[in-house]
Amino acid sequence: MLLTAQRVVSPRGARGVNVYQYVHGSSVWTRVPDELLPDTNPGELVRQWLEVPPGENRIVSYLDIVAPDEVAAPDVHQRLASLKHYLQVTSTRTEVYWDPLWVRFGSAIDSRILQTELGALAGHILLSLTGHRAEAPAPGARGG
C-alpha cells in the first residue's frame, strides 16, 4: 500500500492537501522491496481525498508511506501519529526505512517548519484513513 499526501497549489492559487491510497496486492516483507517503491510501482489507486482538483498543480510538500496492504489499521494509525517524533527532518528531502514501512518526505517550504509540515501531512493521511475527511471518487469510479 502507498499512502501519499501532497500539499499543492493550483495554477489559480487554490491551496490544499490531497491524499491518495494505492494498493499493491498481497505481499509480505520485512523491508519494502525496491519494486514496490512509488517511483517504480505506485500500485492501483483505490481511494482519494481531494481539497484541490488534480491537474497542473504545483506540489509544495509531500509525504509517501509504503506498507504491506495487510498491515493492521491501528498499526498504520500509530505510526502516522508518531512519525513527526520518529523522523527528525533536517533537509528538504528525507527517505528512510522504518521496517516494515518506507517513508519519504520532501518540501519546498521554509526549513524552520519542516518538522511541523511533516506532522501536518501525516495528520491529513490519518484523518483521511479514519473517515474524518470527505472521500472523492477514485478515477474511473462511477457515481450514482
**In this predicted model, what pLDDT tens digit does every residue of 112-127 receive, in sequence order?**
888 899 999 999 999 9
Q: How many CB atoms lie within 10 A of CB 57?
A: 18
Cα 27 to Cα 45: distance, rounded to the nearest angstrom:
17
Tens digits of per-residue pLDDT, 40-95? 999 999 999 999 999 899 999 999 999 998 888 889 889 888 888 888 887 788 89
Three cell numbers written together for 113 = 517548519
CB neighbour burial string for 9-37, b if at least 16 within 10 angstroms, e if fewer: eeeeeeebbbbbbbebeeeeeeebeeebb
Q: Is the pLDDT of residue 142 over 60?
A: no
CA distances from 114 to 45, 84, 105 (A): 27, 10, 9
pLDDT given at position 140? 58
- Split into its structural domains, the chain has a count of 1
The helix (H) or strand (E) run that includes residue 88 is: none
What separation in angstroms does the CA of 106 have from each of 12, 44, 110?
A: 23, 22, 12
Residue range of the domain that includes 80 = 2-129
Asked if the structure places residue 29 within a domain, the reply is yes
Instruction: Tell me, yes or no, if the pTM score tops 0.75.
Output: yes
User: Does 137 reside within a domain?
Assistant: no
31 assigned to some structural domain: yes
Report yes or no on 92 lying in a domain. Answer: yes
Residue 85 lies in a domain: yes
Cell numbers at 85, concatenated: 517524533
Whether the per-residue pLDDT at 132 is higher than 80: the answer is no
Q: Flag whether 144 is in a domain.
A: no
77 located within any domain: yes
